[in-house]
């Protein structure tokens, strides 16, 4: 998404422009729906396959009991690539996002110590397992907890086969690097997609225009924090 220094976006390079153009063509040229309820369409058979968050599994188990046992989930479809040794493999990498917890800076030593102890307790595997099991016991399998603690995850009510699939996909997730001003990236990529889909603007020109806006914000924030800017 960014150059090595994190000072400039790379969505305007040839690979980025082509990926953006290919993506928007699925909707403009092939008529893929932009808004849909996957659970309802999967349940009726109108949409027999989809890529979705694994929490959709829990929703289907509760909302579509009539098709239970007739479907399953597996790894994300991969792209065939060649490694450094010339061996072919399937790259199933997918980006991952999540929330964060921040402890507010304070001069109160007792408050800082208690906050740190609470965070350690909350992130502990035993606490996460207990919380996950209790919330599922109270609300049912549709509320199965999506913990980020790997040890706790394996102790929740997933079957052995499900855990194997999820763990394998988990190993292939990648994060998008955070950079100063990076909040503009996702926002303007979404704006660019809407511009092409709704107004039928040219995909190449649109993504290049929005990459300029992204770079302007990256430069602004880097100046604010005293970081070197892109030339």
Q: What are the tokens at 71?
A: 């479907």
Rounded distance between C-alpha atoms, residue 112 and residue 115, angstroms: 5
Q: How far separated are the first and last CA of the chain, in Å rounded?
A: 18
Flag whether 6 is in a domain: no
Do residues 90 and 116 both lie within one domain? no
Do residues 111 and 163 both lie within one domain? yes
- Residue bearing the bigger pLDDT, 216 or 140: 216
pLDDT band at 103, cuts 50/70/90? low
Do residues 184 and 171 both lie within one domain? no
Flag whether 35 is in a domain: yes
Of all helices (H) and strands (E), which one includes residue 2?
none
Flag whether 7 is in a domain: no
pLDDT band at 158, cuts 50/70/90? very high
* Residue 142 reports pLDDT greater than 90: no
Do residues 166 and 180 both lie within one domain? no
Residue with the two structure tokens 């993504």: 207
**How many domains, in total, are found in the chain?**
2
Q: Which residue stretches of the chain are H helix?
A: 14-28, 38-44, 55-63, 109-123, 125-139, 150-153, 160-170, 183-199, 203-224
Rounded distance between C-alpha atoms, residue 76 and residue 191, angstroms: 26
Flag whether 231 is in a domain: no
| pLDDT > 90 fraction of the chain, expressed in percent and rounded | 76
Do residues 131 and 18 both lie within one domain? no
Do residues 36 and 129 both lie within one domain? no
The pLDDT assigned to 98 comes to 67
The pLDDT assigned to 55 comes to 87
Return the DSSP state at 105: P
The pLDDT assigned to 6 comes to 92
Flag whether 230 is in a domain: no
What would the mean pLDDT of 199-210 be, rounded to a whole number? 97
The pLDDT assigned to 96 comes to 74
Nearest one of 66, 7, 14, 6 to 42, comparing CA atoms = 66
Which residues make Cβ contacts (< 8 Å) with residue 191, sequence separation at least 6?
Answer: 210
Q: The domain containing residue 73 runs over which residues? A: 14-94+176-224
**Angle, helix 14-28 to helix 203-224, in steps of 10 degrees:** 130
The pLDDT assigned to 219 comes to 96
The dihedral region occupied by 145, where left means phi > 0, alpha psi between -120 and 50, and beta the remainder, is beta
Nearest one of 18, 16, 12, 23 to 193, comparing CA atoms = 23
pLDDT band at 224, cuts 50/70/90? very high
pLDDT digits (tens, 9 = 90+) for 110-123: 888 898 899 999 99
Residue with the two structure tokens 């919380």: 131
pLDDT band at 101, cuts 50/70/90? low
């Amino acid at each position: 998404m960014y150059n090595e220094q994190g000072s400039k976006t790379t969505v305007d390079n040839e690979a980025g422009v082509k990926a953006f153009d290919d993506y928007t063509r699925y909707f403009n040229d092939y008529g893929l729906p932009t808004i849909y309820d996957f659970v309802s369409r999967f349940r009726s058979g109108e949409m027999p396959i989809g890529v979705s968050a694994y929490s959709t599994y829990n929703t289907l188990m509760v909302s579509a009991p009539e098709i239970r046992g007739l479907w399953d989930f597996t790894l994300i479809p991969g792209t065939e690539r060649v490694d450094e040794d010339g061996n072919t493999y399937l790259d199933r990498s997918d980006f991952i996002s999540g929330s964060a917890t921040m402890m507010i800076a304070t001069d109160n030593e007792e408050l800082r110590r208690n906050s740190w102890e609470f965070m350690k307790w909350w992130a502990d595997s035993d606490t996460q397992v207990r919380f996950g099991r209790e919330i599922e016991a109270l609300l049912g399998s549709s509320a199965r907890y999506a913990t980020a603690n790997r040890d706790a995850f394996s102790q929740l009510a997933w079957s052995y086969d499900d855990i194997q699939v999820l763990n394998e996909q988990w190993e292939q997730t990648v994060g998008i690097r955070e950079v100063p001003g990076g909040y503009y990236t996702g926002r303007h990529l979404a704006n660019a997609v809407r511009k092409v889909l709704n107004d039928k603007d040219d995909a190449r020109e649109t993504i290049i225009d929005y990459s300029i806006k992204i770079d302007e914000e990256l430069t602004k924030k880097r100046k604010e924090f005293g970081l070197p800017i892109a030339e």
